[in-house]
Every structure is written in structure tokens, then in C-alpha cells.
Chain A
Amino acid sequence: MLSETILEMKDISKSFPGVKALDNVGFKLRKGEIHALMGENGAGKSTLIKVITGVYEKDSGFITLQGEPIHFKTPKEAQNKGIGTVYQEIMLCPNLTVAENMFIGRSHTPIVNWKQMNEKAAQLLKSLGIPASPIQELASCSLAVQQMIAIARAVDMDCKILILDEPTSSLDEDEVHKLFDLMRELKTRGVGIIFITHFLKQVYEISDRITVLRNGKFVGEYETSSFPQIELISKMLGNELEDITKIKKYEPIVSDTTIPVYEGIGLSSAAGVKPFDFSIQKGEVNGFAGLLGSGRSESVRAIFAADKVTGGGVRMKGKRVKIKTPLQAIRQGIGYLPEDRKDDGIIYDLSVRDNIILTLQVLKGFFKPFSLKQAEAFAKEYIEKLNIKTPTSNTPIKSLSGGNQQKVILARWLLTNPEYLILDEPTRGIDVGTKVEIQKLVIKLANNGMSLTFISSEIDEMLRTCSRLIVMKDREIVAELRGTELTEHDVMNVIAQGGKTI
């Protein structure tokens, strides 16, 4: 009974200069279903969404909404027709109240009736079970609640179709479940939900159907319940599917007499991480595990002096050195790929080439610029080596997909030839193919003698690559696992109990 189609897209094509983003793509959404839209970065998911919501105009094809042909020119038109979108980055105003965020931009009266607005908001929040008060300032709500408020707004706009574009990427487990509850509630109300995420587990938990796109083309539509995960991955990756299990890690021979490449004693930083000791051998890959907020990022930031270092000493290959600023760390041969590439790593308007040579340029000094030829040679080398998908090396980095941006930053550090490279969540928010590529690269670099610290929220990625895992809880190292202890079960246990000593 719930199989009535509300949105149908046929033969949708959309081109950008030099790229065919969508090539005769079809998509079908039924009433009351949660439909996952899957594909690698650059597969055309975002473009398809933007065509639906009227951000982009399609070049050709047909869209029908409940049997009626539609052609949106602005996001507002789509909104008026009942298509609500909630983006990964919350598109609300933090300085307004919760109620205002739900109703602003929708009223047609010049006067704001606060009382009525707050009452309506309170009702809506209650009916959807959102734990927020209408008169609260939005900034004081957690990210998950803000996300839900954005959804509530869409729901109240009588939306028939709700598009959730990576809504879970900044939420923790608990918050994700709350969001899923809300999605199920909406489903029973007959809303068709398009769900985009990189987390395969979540797709299987919540979705009814999956549509896979690859390289701007429609691959297929499948029932989630009868579609094994391995097949989903292979559909998403196509021929690029690599046998993940082929990744072989390298176990360095460690004895007490070998001098570690990096050794920090009693390091602590202003970001609140408790004093810790840490060392890494040549060619070793290790990782920091722990929940969000456990201090794993803060620890590596302390190593790189990205946060103010408040105590402790550092030895590089046995020699005492002073690392109080990132520049000193770089000079000592430490590289750091930050967790949040958007804020910490990328200079958006610069070209791929300039982003790649940036750190090397800093080391060389700004008054001795590289010649264009030299820079181009560097850029070319790494674009090839890391398989960065960019039209030219002169393309601004902001027009690249997330995974490729990540590779550019990686290239930037590889170019400086560090002895010790820290990768903080390099695989977050990027597609499966690139994730595999990056993991393989980590192993390859280690085989060539580089020491690496690899942090990932997905423990199996670390298990695949790291020979040693440092487990953190409450900003403290609680355990160090190696060898046979490195199973997902053990790591989870230690994180949960946090007590086992080394």
C-alpha cells in the first residue's frame, strides 16, 4: 500500500564545464520509504540532489512529483512544493531561537507573532520528540538537536520528500539513533526520505531501498534487505574494487635497544590532554583509538604542537629537540594531516598545485619561491602518484571532491618527505575507494621506512593498518594493544572498560 511513487526522475543529465556530472540518471522515490542514495564521491549524488532541490537546473530529462511534471529554478520553489532538504552542514542561524529557526523565511506577514510562533514550535517539537525548548538560542543545542530542528522545519513545511544529505557525519552513536527514530516516525507519516551517507552500517540499519550511482551513471536500484553489503560496495566501486584484505601490514622489529624516531615524554597541551608518553619506531604504523572526545586528536595535536604544548620533552632519534610550534615540528620532520581538512588544511581558493607545494614553500622560505616549472613538476608527480582526480593542477582545490582534497593535503606532506607523519582521520567523509587507496598508501609509506600514526573512527581501518594501538579514554592513555590483542573485540572492550593496563 505504501508503494505509491511520489518522485520520479527519468533520463536526467547535467554537465559542468569539462565534466558530465549526471548521464541519463533515473531515480524513483515511493511514499513512506527511506531510500539510500549511494555512490563514491563524484558519483553524482550531490548533483542529483541539487537538481531535485532546484539549486541546479538539469540539462535534460523529466522530473515528476506525484505524477505532475516539475521544473524548479530556485530552492524556494522546491520547498514550496514540499521538498525539504537537510544538509550535512546545518543550515540554520545559530544566533536565533529554536522557534525562529523553524519559522523564519516562511511567514508572509510583516509582523512576528512571538507567542504564536513559540506555541506552534513547542507543539511540533513535542510531537516529534525533539528535546529542545522553542525559546532556546539554537547555538545552545547539540548538533544532533540542531539537525532535528532542521528536519522539524522541513516537516512543518508539509514536506512530502525529505532529503538528508550526510546528516550523521557529525553525530555520535546515540545521536544517530535519535535521528533514526525521528526518520522512522516520519516514514509512518508517509514522507519519502532520501538518505545519503558514507556509513554502510547505517544504510543497512535504516533504509528500505538503495540506488547506486557511479561516475554520473545509474547503476541500479535494490531492496536493502536482499542486497548484501559486499555487493553494494562492488556496485559502488565498479572495476575499482580492490580486495581490501590484500592490505598487509608491516610489523617492525622492535627491541629495547632501537632508538625510536620520535619519543615524547610527559607531553601535555593546553587542549586538556593529560601528560602522556609516546614513541614510534622507524617504519611503524600505530594508531590512537578511543571515542570522540577521548583525547586521541588532542594527543597527536600535542605531538605536532598544533595546540599549545604545556609540558614534556621530545627526542627525535634520541636527540633532545624543542617542539613548541608546528613549524618546529615540521623542521624536525614531522607532518600532520589534520582531522578537519576544511578548517585546518585547505586553502580553498588556491590551486591544487599551490596547495601541494605550500608546506615545502614554507620550509624553503617565502622569499625564495619555486619556479612555476618546478612547482608544476611537483604537483604533476603527486597528482599521478596519489591518483588525484583533477582537471588540471591549476584548478582551485575547492572544486575537487572531498576525497581528492584529502589526497592533495596528503601530497603536501609527502612532498616534505617527513620521517614521521600523523594522519588524523584521513578517511572521514570520503568514498570507499579512496579510503582503501589511503590505507594502502599508509602501508606502502611505512614499508619505505616512514613512521606513521593513523587515526580513524572506523576501528577496522586501524586494525588493518596499525601494528600497535594506543587506546585513550578521558584524555588519558588507558591501554596499548599489539599483536594478537589487535582484534575489534579486544579494542572495543578496552574502550568500554578503559581499565586494562599494558
Chain B
Amino acid sequence: MTTVNVIKPKARLSNSNILFLIAAVIFVLMYIFAIITFPASFMQFQTFFDLFNLNAPLIIMTLGLSIVMIGGGIDISVGSVCGLVTMACAVYLEHKMGSIGGAILIALGIGIVFGILQGYLIAYLEIQPFIITLSGLFLAQGLLTTLHKDPINVTMPAFVNLRDFDIVIAWLGAKNRLGVFIPCEIKPGTIIVVILLVILASLMKWSRFGRNVYAVGGNSNSAMMLGINVKRTVFITYVMSGLTAGIAGFVYIMTTGAGNVGNASGAEMKAIASAIIGGTLLNGGVGNLLGAPIGTLTLLVINELIRAAGVQSNFQAMVSGLMLYFFIVLQSLIMSLRDRTRIRFTLPPWLRLSEKAKSGNHRET
């Protein structure tokens, strides 16, 4: 063993961390820009808290979705499941038998059932996650409209109290135009976001399950050879994203207090966008759960900026779309720079026609 010279390679940042850092820096820069351009609103702490207060469901969905995406999958049913949960809870709470505890159970139950169903089909029957969760999306939407078509405002007193409950931070706030001091308020949803963020981020970093998810997303074949139960790991990721979609549904109705057919519609796309902006790579194995809220907030701040600028609201969607392009290209660029390979676009396994044929085609044709 004399010929091997032990070199000490510099431990470089892992891909997960570098993408997270980039997301964080971009968010901070954007927020500073927002403060400079619209100091009146963005200087206030309440604006910052409101981003959480009003968008807690989206952040929660993004957390679950990020786990699935790190494991190399995708779940586009989260928005519809979330919407279904809001309606189911509203119908239930308006019923004579309704109770808040029961509503929570319903929310978790619906989420878990969708997670188990989709997870089973994807992990054990090895069907494309995109198709399965697309089916889940339609199923949830159909159930939602079957359950109730018209908006329901929940009038149950206990629930209304919960809806209007705020945590007041007395020492933080701003004076309004009349000079009255308005303290900052945090909704319970924000607390749930923080708790879930801590739990899930720790899970991904320090638990055997979390590391297995990274391994499976990195290379599922290798993961299997390394002795990881790939199918069970994939299955659990979908159960987790179903569960978070359920929680998101409850937080949603807790914030708005109403069941509505349009609740959380399209949220899956926002969640995917948030996860990507937050540094989760589309092809799996790379991502940091702390990036999930950052991605969501970046997306929201941009939309807020556009709204504050008084531009038509359809620009929000356009800019979101453009930003997503930008981030995917940026990620591919960074990855290929780091691997010193020719630039190619990272495609998730569920979007590739065939793993092996992907580069074979273009040279012959």
C-alpha cells in the first residue's frame, strides 16, 4: 500500500446545498428589491408574516411534494386533494355531528388514503407517477364536486373562533395612518408550517428513511443493490405527500373558513414550481426541505411585486412561468458546470421516454 498517496480533497458543497444556497440568495435579493421599490408595504413585518399566514397551505404542500421529488417522483394530485379536504371538512363541520377534532381526522384520513393508493400503484406496481397522480387529481376533483357544488361558509362557532384566532406579537408591529399601533399577527397555520418544516427537514437529514429517499432519488438501482427497500421508501414518500396535502387542506379551511370548488385549484403547479425554485432537482436525489418555503416565498414575492406595481394579474402567471424556465435552466447549468459535462437538461425519470434511448436517438436520426 505504498503507492497510494493520500490526498485530502476539499469537501465541496453538495448539490443539494448549493441549490438551496442559490435559492436563498435569490430570495433575499428579491426581498431587498421589494423593500426598496415598495417600502410602504414590504418594510412592514406584517407583510412578511402574511406571506406565511395566507400561503401556509401552499408551503405545506410543497414540503410533501419536495420529499416525493427528492425520491425521484412527482405528485400532481396535491392541489386537488387539498381542495377535496377543504370541502369535506366544510360539509362535515356544517353537519350537526361536526367537530374540529373530527375534521382534522377527516383531513388526515383523506390525505393518507390518497397517499397510500397512489404510493401503492407507483411503488409496488411500478406505474409512472405522473399518470397515477394525474388520475388522483381527477379523482379528487370529481369527489370534490360530487360532495358539494356550492360554496359553504362554515358557521360552527368553535370553528369560527379557530379561524379568527391570531397569535399577536405585541412588541412587533407598525403604526397605521391614524397613528394607532397595530401589532403583528401570526395565524396558527404559520405555526404548523414551522413545526412541519422542522420535523420534515430533520427527517430528511437525520433519519434513515430520509437518507434512503435521497439514495433512491439519486440512483434507485444502486439504492436497491445497497440494500435499501426501494419500493417501501417510494411508497412512504407518496404517503407523506398525501398526508401533507391533507394537512394543507385543513390549514386552508382554517384560514379561509369556507369550502369551495375552486379551493387550491392549480396549487399543485405552484407547489412544483416552488419546489424547483427552492432547489429541488426535477430528476431526483437533490434538494433541501428548507428550500421549500424559500421557493414558495420567492414565487409569492414576485407575484406580490407585480400586484403592487399595479400590473394586470395575468402577468403574475406569465412571470411565474418565465421564472420557472429560468430556474430549470439555471439548475441544469450549475449541475453541468459542476460535473464538467456538456450542458444538458435534467429530465426526471418519469418524463424520459427510455433511459437508454435518450441519447441514442438523435445521433442516428
Contact = CB atoms under 8 A, between A and B. Distances in A.
B363 A76 contact: no
Interface stretch (B59-67, B141-149, B185-193, B354-362): B354-362
Interface in B303-356: 339, 342, 354, 356
Contacts of B1: 128-129, 181-182, 185
A72 interface: no
B5 A131 contact: yes
Interface stretch (A15-23, A104-112, A437-445): A104-112
A111 B15 contact: no
A345 B360 contact: yes
B364 A359 contact: yes
Interface stretch (B220-228, B263-271, B294-302): B220-228
A118 to B, nearest CB: 10
A110 B339 CA distance: 32
B3 interface: yes
A327 interface: yes
A346 interface: yes
Contact of B226 (A93, A140, A271, A347): A93
Contacts of B364: 326, 358-359, 362
B215 interface: yes
Contacts, number: 142
B206 A111 contact: yes
Interface string B203-214: 001111111101
Nearest to A188: B1
Contacts of B210: 112
B15 A95 contact: yes
Interface in A297-355: 306, 326-327, 336, 338, 342-349
A132 interface: yes
B177 interface: no
Residue among A94, A105, A112 with the most chain B CB within 10 A? Answer: A105
B8 A133 contact: yes
A110 B4 contact: no
Contacts of A129: 1, 4, 6
A91 interface: yes
B176 interface: no
Nearest to A107: B208
B206 A112 contact: yes
A178 to B, nearest CB: 6
B4 A130 contact: yes
A133 B11 contact: yes
B96 interface: no
Interface of B: 1, 3-9, 11-12, 14-16, 205-212, 214-215, 217-219, 221-223, 225-228, 285-286, 339, 342, 354, 356-357, 359-365
22 contacts: A92-B219, A93-B215, A93-B219, A95-B217, A96-B211, A105-B227, A106-B227, A109-B208, A111-B208, A129-B4, A131-B6, A136-B12, A178-B4, A181-B1, A326-B362, A326-B364, A343-B360, A344-B363, A347-B357, A347-B360, A349-B354, A359-B364
Interface of A: 75-76, 79, 87, 90-97, 100-101, 104-107, 109-112, 114, 126, 128-133, 135-137, 139-141, 153, 177-178, 181-182, 185, 271, 306, 326-327, 336, 338, 342-349, 358-359, 362, 398
Given A96-B218, A326-B362, A398-B356, 11 more contacts: A91-B219, A104-B223, A114-B206, A129-B1, A130-B4, A131-B9, A137-B14, A178-B3, A181-B3, A347-B354, A349-B356
For the complex of A and B, 5 pairs with smallest distance between CB atoms: A105-B227, A95-B218, A93-B218, A129-B4, A95-B285
